[in-house]
Structure 1
Amino acid sequence: MDTSEITFAKQYLSNVQLDLSVAAYTKVPTTWHDDDYTPDFNKLYFIIEGEGYLKVGDRRFSPLPGDLILLPSGNIQSYGTINENTFGKYWCHFRAQIGQLDLFQILNTSSLIHVTHPEWLKQKFEDLIYWHHHESLTSLMHVHSILLEIVAFFVEQCETVNINTKTINSLAKIDHVLQYIEEHLSDKLSISELAQVAHFHPNYLIRVFKKATGISPIHYINRMRIEKAKHILRSTHLNILEISDSLGMDIAYFSRMFKEYTGFAPTDYRQLFATDHEPPVSAK
């Protein structure tokens, strides 16, 4: 990848959304095993003691104490014990999404790393477990922060990390489309026009756009227009017809979409922000 693609990849990966479903420490029983199943979540196992095996696809691992193993979602997996000296492990199940893509669809990493300072990682898992079971207002913030740190640590320590350049190149083109939309909100934008910006077939654009943003291009355009309309309503005296015209929307369609997105009619929304302060300036 060139420098601009690397920069985009870094910014894109920073948008990862993590969702932890479970975190614990377990000394597994001798009956611990499963064969050839495909989870829809990622797993991290940090081995503290014991023996056993793990398989991801055709690769079999016999991790040792101090090893941290990633089992990514969407891959056929197996695991089991080999004797009475079973694994004692910290572990967690989590999802890591960027739009509709899993993080490890974008990043191809090693499956196993050996942790040279296990006490640090052990404490991170202890903290993760603590906050996962805590009921405070900020507990989820702590969970997300710690899990993100563990995932970043794993990626940094991998011997090999490759970015799915086909995916990133497509997403970089979507970034250009987003910029184009922002600069042309007042125009009658079409899928064909946006597809030309990205040099995609229209159907492929819709598919990639939704993977990147979680919504369709039309939904995104409407959302951006409503956000701009909210700003205009709060800061200018333009009437509803002038605002809808400035956004390239029919007034009836604009009013309906505005209420659908905000729960208020445009005039009611403006009234919420009416004050005795100086009147707003004209829109620029």
Structure 2
Amino acid sequence: MTTSYFTILMNNLEHMQVETVAAADSGKEQGVPSVGNWKAMDCNRFLLVTEGRGRLLTDQHEEELAPGTLGLVLTGTPHTIEAKEGEVLKLKWVHYKSSFGERDWYNSLGLPIVIHSVHDEGASLMDKIIHNVTRDGLTSRLRSKAAILDLISLYLECIPPIHTIAEGIPSQDMEKINVVIKYIDEHIAENITVDELSRLIYLHPNYFIVFFKSMMGCAPIQYVNLRRMEIARSMLLQPDCNVSDVASRIGMKIYYFSRMFKKHTGMTPSHYRKMGARMPGSGASEAETNE
């Protein structure tokens, strides 16, 4: 995965919205939902095989199903499930909708259809969703949403390293955003403006803002400031960097940097640095954190 694509994906995942539509455990006595029937749904669909063997078929893929297999069928994908002869599949399933703001990135990631050996953790997350989706408690939706995000995280973490998930992104868009991201990182200590960034890829500033937000999930200057805070957090945990060094590295006056950092993290840079010195594995001593 390219660095620029990882940056894009990470930013969009942070801004992703999810909504649980339905979830259930298909008991043996019920059979398997949609077996032998091709359908395309208006939502994403997670399927976890708990018993039995079979196949998950789409118009482009044929995947083997076995206990511990977690399948992901994206919105609008025609698919069907077939049990092997003499076997009955038992599934847990979750239907959910997701979006990354102005662009539904999730459907263009080129994700694999199935991953394997996630039975215990996958089943636990599925059960949490199934438990909460039909309840009307104060925190039921929040717990269901949290479990969905954990399930998506599990799926992404289990993708084989050789798999690329940038295929669904138009190459021209990738080239343009790559130019902008690289420029921002190389000029992070300078006064970066929207006009300046828009000229890099020959777009009107208004169109550039829409393009950037659709790719990154946030506005250009918001992203610049987020990058500055990311760099600051990393540097403040290094024993040989003080607050003045960090502010200079990201092109900010100390007062303005301290104010933005506190707004972003809830603590001052000095407090954050001292806290970092007490973290396991930190090379800084308490004395080194004094300004």
TM class, shorter-length: 0.5 to 0.7
Is 1:199 paired with 2:191? no
Is 1:163–2:166 an aligned residue pair? yes
Aligned residue in 2 for 1:55: 57
**Contact (CA 8 Å) 2:115, 2:159: kept in 1 or not?**
yes
- Secondary structure of 2:47's counterpart equals strand
* Paired AA for residue 159 in structure 2: C
Deviation at 1:213, TM superposition (A): 8.6
Normalising by structure 2, we get a TM-score of 0.57
| Partner Cα distance (1:3, 1:31) in 2 | 40
Please list every run of 5 or more consecutive structure 1 residues that lacks an aligned counterpart in the other structure.
Answer: 178-182, 218-284
CA contact (8 A) 1:24 1:92 kept: yes
* Structure 2 CA distance for partners of 1:124 and 1:69, relative to 1, 3 Å: same
| Counterpart Cα distance in 1 of 2:62 and 2:49 | 16
Structure 1 SS opposite 2:110: strand
2:75 matched to which residue of 1? 73
Gaps of 5+ in 2: 185-191, 220-291
Where 1:143 maps in the other structure, the secondary structure is helix
Aligned equivalents of 2:144, 2:134: Cα separation in 1: 10
Q: Which amino acid aligns with 2:139?
A: T
Tell me, what secondary structure is at the counterpart of 1:62? strand
Q: Could you say which residue in structure 2 is the equivalent of 1:9?
A: 9
Larger CA Rg, structure 1 vs 2 = 1
Q: Matches of 2:180 and 2:54 in 1, distance apart? A: 44
| Cα distance in 2 between the residues matched to 1:156 and 1:52 | 24
The share of aligned pairs that are identical, in percent, is: 21
Q: How far off is 1:16 after superposition?
A: 1.1
Alpha-carbon deviation of 1:136? 1.7
2:152 alignment partner, SS class? helix
**TM-score, length of structure 1 as denominator length:** 0.58
CA distance in 2, matches of 1:161, 1:2: 9
SS of residue in 2 equivalent to 1:101: coil
Equivalence for 2:128: 127
Q: Does 1:25 align with 2:28?
A: no
Work out the CA distance in 1 between the residues paired with 2:157 and 2:90: 24
1:174–1:143 distance in 2 versus 1, CA, 3 Å: farther
Secondary structure of 1:23's aligned partner: strand
Which SS does the other structure have where 2:99 is aligned? Answer: strand
- Structure 1 residue 172: deviation in Å? 6.3
Q: Which moved more, 1:193-202 or 1:70-79?
A: 193-202
Q: Cα distance 1:80–1:202, how it changes in 2: closer, same or farther (>3 A)?
A: farther
Cα 1:204–1:86 change in 2 (3 A) is farther
Does the 8 A contact of 1:99 with 1:212 survive in 2? no
Mapped contact 2:53–2:87 kept (Cα < 8 A): yes
Structure 2 residue aligned with 1:238: none
Work out the number of aligned pairs and report it.
207
Matched residue SS, 1:163: coil
CA-based RMSD of the aligned residues comes to: 3.8
In structure 2, the partner of 1:100 is 102
